[in-house]
Amino acid sequence: MTSPHYLAADDRYTSGMQYTRCGRSGVLLPKVSLGLWHRFGDTSPLESQRAVLRRAFDRGVVHFDLANNYGPPYGSAEANFGTVYAQDFRPYRDELFIATKAGYDMWAGPYGEFGSRKYVLASLDQSLARMGLDYVDVFYSHRYDPDTPLEETMGALHSAVRQGKALYAGLSNYPPEKMREAAGILKGLGTPLLINQHAYNMLDRTVEKNGLIAASAEEGAGVIAFSPLAQGQLTDRYLAGIPADSRAAVGHFLKPEALSEQKMALLHALNKHAVAHGRTLAQLALAWVLRDARVTSVLIGASSVAQLDQNLGILDAEPFDEDELADLERLLS
């Protein structure tokens, strides 16, 4: 059991965490941020969640990323975070950078998902209540809604900032052309876009190919990468097969067929490269995403303190040289 009386580590800002400026803003984010997408719902013990959150903050991870539908069930990650926040983190609120999002389905009826002003602002109010917060640091539109005018969705984000319920606005899962359009609307309203969040990893380089990273830099926004480990594929989790308790075995977000013979050959080659360079496969994958200076932070999940610490080991790793990057490019091409 963890101690009921939490005092953050005195060396949390001098123990190795590195911080990067988010676009053209005043915000500095840790290179590694903690995402509460998995393992923070009601299916995971609260004490395990508390231990990971405490350890993350003790290591200088000040950015916690949530969304209204994280769980399961929906809303439970925010509610559990709210419990831990009230008991442990309330004295440290001004040191924390907390994010939430609205866009995916949350409740029944016509106003429970996508990008209408009604849904977006109602969802934010619910998120704040679950977490016990007066405001979040960044509030995201979680996905582009093709049936709602961007002016309405961006106007809702702007209203959240004007009302003091969010400090910054962000976008997630937006295609580059719609991101640019949305950024222009926000700029015109006086609430510039802070950050874009999108999947990015060695196995999914869409944001390189479609220009989202480049467009974000041109718009003055940062980039935060979720799924940098490709739902656990870029770890040692599947190198010897599919464990019974793994995401691939459950088959919800990661399907077993994704681990094809060709994919497994690549994962083993990447693991061999990682070991030869003194890294784990996960550390290699995280460092690879962060090789691009336009990427502000990577979002990792963690089911245990040990897993968190292992992934934070990338902060001590030597940067890639040109030869190693070329070797990795050959493997990935």
Q: Which pLDDT value is given to residue 259?
A: 75
Q: Which pLDDT value is given to residue 246?
A: 52
Q: Which pLDDT value is given to residue 243?
A: 59
- Flag whether 14 is in a domain: no
Backbone torsions φ then ψ of 93, nearest 5 degrees: -55, -40
| Burial profile 268-279: b = 16 or more Cβ within 10 angstroms, e = fewer | eebbebbeebeb
* Run of H or E including 126: helix 117-131
Cα(184)–Cα(227) distance, rounded to whole angstroms? Answer: 27
Q: Which pLDDT value is given to residue 52?
A: 98
Query: Is the distance from CB of 128 to CB of 121 less than 8 angstroms?
Result: no
Question: Angle between the 117-131 and 150-162 helix axes, to the nearest 10 degrees?
Answer: 40
* Residues linked to residue 136 through DSSP beta bridges, in sequence order: 166
- Flag whether 4 is in a domain: no
Tokens 């005195």, residue? 10
Percent helix, strand, coil in the chain, to 5, is 45, 15, 40
| Termini Cα distance of the chain | 47
Tokens 């944001």, residue? 207
* Residues linked to residue 257 through DSSP beta bridges, in sequence order: none
pLDDT digits (tens), the chain, 333 positions: 455 689 999 999 999 999 999 999 999 999 999 999 989 999 999 999 999 999 999 999 999 999 999 999 999 999 999 999 999 999 999 999 999 999 999 999 999 999 999 999 999 999 999 999 999 999 999 999 999 999 999 999 999 999 999 999 999 999 999 999 999 999 999 999 999 999 999 999 999 999 999 999 999 999 999 999 998 999 998 887 665 555 544 555 567 777 788 999 999 999 999 999 999 999 999 999 999 999 999 999 999 999 999 999 999 988 999 999 999 999 999
Listed residue (56, 42, 32, 52) closest to 229, CA to CA: 32
- Flag whether 5 is in a domain: no
Our count of domains for the chain comes to 1
Radius of gyration of the chain (CA): 19
CATH number of the structural domain spanning residue 103: 3.20.20.100
Residue type, 73: P
Q: Which pLDDT value is given to residue 172?
A: 98
- Flag whether 195 is in a domain: yes
- Flag whether 264 is in a domain: yes
* Run of H or E including 38: none
Using the 8-state DSSP alphabet, how is residue 45 labeled?
Answer: -
Q: Which long-range contacts (CB under 8 A, 24 or more apart) does 88-91 make?
A: 88/6, 88/50, 88/53, 88/54, 89/6, 89/53, 89/57
Question: Angle between the 305-312 and 46-58 helix axes, to the nearest 10 degrees?
Answer: 30
What's the domain range around 187? 19-332
Using the 8-state DSSP alphabet, how is residue 75 labeled?
Answer: T
Q: Which pLDDT value is given to residue 245?
A: 55
Structure tokens at 52: 């990971």
* Run of H or E including 183: helix 176-189
CB half-sphere exposure, 286, CA atoms < 13 A: 26
- Flag whether 9 is in a domain: no
- Flag whether 7 is in a domain: no
Look up the pTM and report it.
Answer: 0.94
Task: Provide DSSP, 237-292.
Answer: GGTT---TTSHHHHTSSS-GGGS-HHHHHHHHHHHHHHHHTT--HHHHHHHHHTTS
